[in-house]
Amino acid sequence: MAQPQPHFLLVTYPAQGHINPALQFAKQLTLLGVKLTFTITVSAYRRMTKSNQIPQSFNFVVFSDGYDDGFNSNSGDSKLFLEQFKIRVIQSLKETIDSSAKNGTPVTCLVYTILLPWVSEVALDHKLPLALLWIQPASVFRVYYYYFNGYDKLIGEDCFEPSWSIEIPGLPSLKSRDLPSFCLPSNPHDSVKSILKELLHLLSSIERPKVLVNTFDALEEETLKEIDGKIDMVAVGPLIPSAFLDGNDPTDRSFGGDLFETSHDYLKWMNSKPQGSIVYISFGTLIEWSKKQKEALAYALIESKRSFLWVLRDKDGETKADDHEEISCIKELQQLGLIVPWCSQLEVLSHPSLGCFVTHCGWNSTLESIACGVPVVAFPKWSDQATNAKLIEDVWGMGTRVHVAVNEDGDVDGEEIRRCIEMVMGEHERGETMRKNAKKWKDLASKAVKQTGSSYINLKAFVEQSGSTFDLLKDKNGGI
């Protein structure tokens, strides 16, 4: 009997930072001959369709999570949302698995991203091979693994002392400012920490679980080594459209899942600027800064006297009516640069006029700066961002990190931001080293995803192995 085409069922949390790498991973799988079904909420799919760039190489299963107009975390009950989301996702996955089997295209592997730990239970119930697509660096996975295996007891209230540090196997020495925020005593997001704990716990119940990481071997060689002989991490990234990475497919210029609409007028403005002259500022889709922090950043941009492109938006991807009014020096700012509600980040980062990226250090943004060879001013706020900033500055040497003021609101002083921008953009020796290192990592990232590269070979081997695992499970259970 002919072996069926591999059929992967992929599910992700409906946030931009989760959707983008998941979509790119899906595209990579289809190029390897995999039939791919992508599970997504009604609200996210509706917003994705507005971009008219949704990938056509695989199928979408769209389900309602009860919030078809989107969930507002500012006014909604997050706990209720997550409980309902879990129920609806499990129902959708089960229906898809059952219908696919009836249609003669059985699901042969179930892949899920972070914040969805209970998906592993669906795979076990249906006796399916399972893989976690880890959309943060391998370094952060390693921190969480050890944190939930006893190292949490080493991180007490004294961790904020200047002399404190922690040694985690496979990682450089870390200060409290380098740890993911969920590992700190000051963490206000216990629900997220609980989800991560459950994720690690369920992984530990699986023999040699497969963790696919959006990174590449050269970037995190030591960190990617197996953990305690129990967990294998496999690098399959950077999961970034080909046109901005290896160039094998010039038409692949978008992830295909942008939840926010954008114009491209800013590109005309960028075309008019000298090479390497523009400062790009963007803090992702979730972070919102105080008026005081925006003023400090505006001060830094004016004092630097450099052209800039600043993405300033609310959670709906729009510039607030009073955003410009919030900034007292708006007229001076507008003489130097542009403020936009959203943009195509990869188009900006790959533009020859760009000189540096002031970023929150979300992992997608970090990888995109690496893929485009852009040095960074690291401005982390929460989650994995602090660890990413540590890697950018001290391990990869392609950026500098702002020092947060020791005050009641934790804002960064405008003069400190200006100093960091000048460090990266100016003639300082460290800036030159950062730019050289950024170029080095760009070349290595491109090499990793070519057909002779480590990430391509790793992904191909995973697809082949998952097929063998499915056949083994099918034989054990007398057919699935």
For 41-55, 230-244, 334-348, which range has the lowest pLDDT when averaged over its residues?
A: 41-55
Whether 254 is in a domain gets the answer: no
pLDDT tens, residue by residue, 275-297: 999 999 999 776 777 788 888 89
Residues 221 and 320 in one domain: no
Q: Are residues 390 and 468 in the same domain?
A: no
Look at residue 410 and tell me whether its pLDDT is greater than 80. Answer: no
Q: Say yes or no: 286 and 319 in one domain.
A: yes
- For residues 182-207, average pLDDT: 90
Q: What is the CATH classification number for the domain harbouring 437?
A: 3.40.50.2000
pLDDT for residue 255:
79
Asked if the model's pLDDT at residue 42 lies above 90, the reply is yes
pLDDT of res. 1: 45
Residue 268: predicted pLDDT = 93
Please tell me whether residues 279 and 143 are part of one structural domain: no
Whether 260 maps to a domain, the answer reads: no
* Selection from 390, 447, 346 nearest residue 142 by Cα: 390
The verdict on 171 and 95 lying in the same domain is yes
Give 14 or 471, the one with higher predicted confidence.
14
For the segment 5-38, what is each residue's pLDDT rounded down to a tens digit? 899 999 999 988 999 999 999 999 999 999 999 9
Instruction: Write down the catalytic residue from 18, 126, 351, 360.
Output: 18
Quote the mean pLDDT of the chain: 89
Percent of the chain at pLDDT exceeding 70: 88
Least confident span in 63-77, 100-114, 386-400: 63-77
Q: What is the pLDDT of residue 290?
A: 77
Query: How many domains, the chain?
Result: 2
* pLDDT band, residue 319 (cuts 50/70/90): very low
Q: Are 17 and 366 in contact (CB under 8 A)?
A: no
Q: What is the pLDDT, as a whole number, of residue 321?
A: 39
Q: What confidence category does residue 405 fall into, taking pLDDT thresholds of 50, 70 and 90?
A: low
What distance in Å separates the CA atoms of residue 255 and residue 345, rounded to the nearest whole number? Answer: 11
pLDDT-derived band of residue 263, with 50, 70 and 90 as boundaries?
low
Does 459 share its domain with 438? no
Confidence at residue 316, expressed as pLDDT on a 0 to 100 scale: 47
Confidence of residue 76 (pLDDT cuts 50, 70, 90): low
Q: For position 57, what pLDDT does the model report?
A: 85
Q: Please report the pLDDT score of residue 67 as a whole number.
A: 85
pLDDT, greater one: 469 or 449: 449
* pLDDT for the residue 460: 96
pLDDT higher than threshold 90 for residue 466: no
- Predicted pLDDT at 320: 47
Q: Which residue has the higher pLDDT, 418 or 321?
A: 418
Residues 39 and 100 in one domain: yes
Q: Is residue 255 part of a domain?
A: no
pLDDT in tens, 158-191: 999 999 999 999 999 999 999 999 999 988 888 8
Could you tell me if 436 and 464 lie in one domain?
Answer: no
Residues of the chain with pLDDT > 90, as a percent, come to: 67
Residue 315: per-residue pLDDT? 45
Higher pLDDT, 216 or 76: 216
105 and 172 fall within a common domain: yes
Q: Which pLDDT score, from 0 to 100, does residue 284 have?
A: 79
- Does residue 88 sit within a domain? yes
Segments forming the whole domain that contains residue 457: 7-248+449-476
Do 460 and 421 lie in one domain? The reply is: no
Arithmetic mean of pLDDT, 250-256: 79
Residue 258, pLDDT > 90, answer no
Residue 257 inside a domain? The answer is no
Asked whether residue 2 is domain-assigned, the answer is: no
pLDDT of residue 122 exceeding 70: yes
Residue 132 has phi, psi (to 5 degrees) of -95, 125
As a whole number, mean pLDDT of residues 468-477 equals: 58
Q: Does 436 share its domain with 453?
A: no
Any catalytic annotation for residue 18? yes
Q: Is residue 220 part of a domain?
A: yes
Q: Does some domain include residue 256?
A: no
218 lies in the same domain as 365: no
